[in-house]
Amino acid sequence: MPRLSLLHLIFVLSGLSITYPSVANEEIQIIKMTPKQSEADVSHDYLVQLVSKSTKLAEPHFGPSKIEFMPIMLSQDRVLQLLGIGGVLDIVASAPTDERESSFLSVKVPIFMGLLGYRMMIIAPSKLGIFESITKEEELKNLIACQGTAWPDADILEDSGYRVLRVTKFEQMFEKLHSGECDYFPRAITEGYGELEYYNENNPDKPLAKFDSILIHYQVPLMFYTSHNNYELAAKIQYGMEQMVINGELEALLKTHPVTQSAFPLSKWDNAKIFSVPNKRLPKSVPTFNKAMWLSLD
């Protein structure tokens, strides 16, 4: 067992204890992940790199791993249903809910170190003037946000009086901005810029615009989930991601990955107006108390 640093001891003492196998398993463990939601899902590569880096750090204790992908992409509801079926899908990245926390094993390290909860907006260029004139949260609530059908974000926003249109497929969000069915598509500051750049490069005749003078903020992490039968994989990724927090690799990945680097330096948000939305649905099992895992714009 490796010698524990002070920060690692903080993890352990705060309830995030890790059990290491006494002998490394040399058999290569296949980790089946979902493919991209669509070609516009540029965050997928970040998730793959994170699983790869964390399992590599855990290899001396848990043995080697290899990532493979499902041949087709399904809706989040269907993906979560498949998670419990052995050999089909091993790991899913999802925002936590009480149901997911009880149905699956979660890796309790926020994938984007809490920055997922800070939302800029993708909008149609013709509506830029409307958004620039907003001074109060109620004015934003009167507009319609695009959200995924099964995304916890939709519930969080609706709980606070925001108008939401639930959309089944990721790529349809952009279409509905053009059609006017949605006024804005809230995206994390760690993902929205990359998605917008990709979309505009591939749709030069109908570009979309960013609006980030106002951010919506609610505390919601993205976390990895495995089935209850896949404890070793959950423990492996938990160990590896904790090591990445301790040695600074997780924050470094956020700062350098093409998708997430636009959020940095965090001082760029000092003048942004932030509308804070409570997340009444955040499970108590989410380790919000462990400040080493969370970045903040405050």
> Which residue type does 92 have?
V
Output the CATH code of domain 6-112+222-261.
3.40.190.10
Q: Where are the alpha helices (DSSP H) in 104-230?
A: 128-132, 137-141, 152-159, 172-179, 192-202
* Residue 252 confidence (pLDDT): 98
* Residue 247 confidence (pLDDT): 97
- Contact of 136 with 5, CB cutoff 8 Å: no
* Residue 281 confidence (pLDDT): 93
Hunting for tokens 């750090």 — which residue is that? 57
* Residue 279 confidence (pLDDT): 96
Q: Do domains 6-112+222-261 and 115-217 have the same CATH topology?
A: yes
* Residue 236 confidence (pLDDT): 97
Residue 265: cis peptide before it, omega within 30 degrees of 0: yes
| 216-250 pLDDT tens trace | 999 999 999 999 999 999 999 999 999 999 999 99
The distance of Cα 144 from the centroid of its chain, to the nearest Å, equals 22
* Residue 28 confidence (pLDDT): 92
Domains of the chain by residue range: 6-112+222-261, 115-217
The architecture in CATH of the region 115-217 reads 3-Layer(aba) Sandwich (3.40)
Low-confidence ranges of the chain (pLDDT < 70): 1-25, 38-40, 86
| 72-96 pLDDT tens trace | 777 777 888 888 776 789 999 999 9
Nearest-10 crossing angle of helices 249-256, 231-247: 80
pTM, to two decimals: 0.84
**Which residues are registered as beta bridge partners of 123?**
209
What does the alpha-carbon distance between residue 286 and residue 147 come to, in Å, rounded to a whole number?
Answer: 23
Q: Computed from CA positions of residues 251, 257, 263, 267, in that sequence, does the dihedral angle turn out positive or negative?
A: positive
Residues 6+ apart with CB under 8 A from 211: 120, 121, 122, 123, 128, 131, 132, 184
What does the alpha-carbon distance between residue 285 and residue 108 come to, in Å, rounded to a whole number?
Answer: 8
Token pair for 275: 């509308």
* Residue 86 confidence (pLDDT): 66
What does the alpha-carbon distance between residue 268 and residue 264 come to, in Å, rounded to a whole number?
Answer: 7
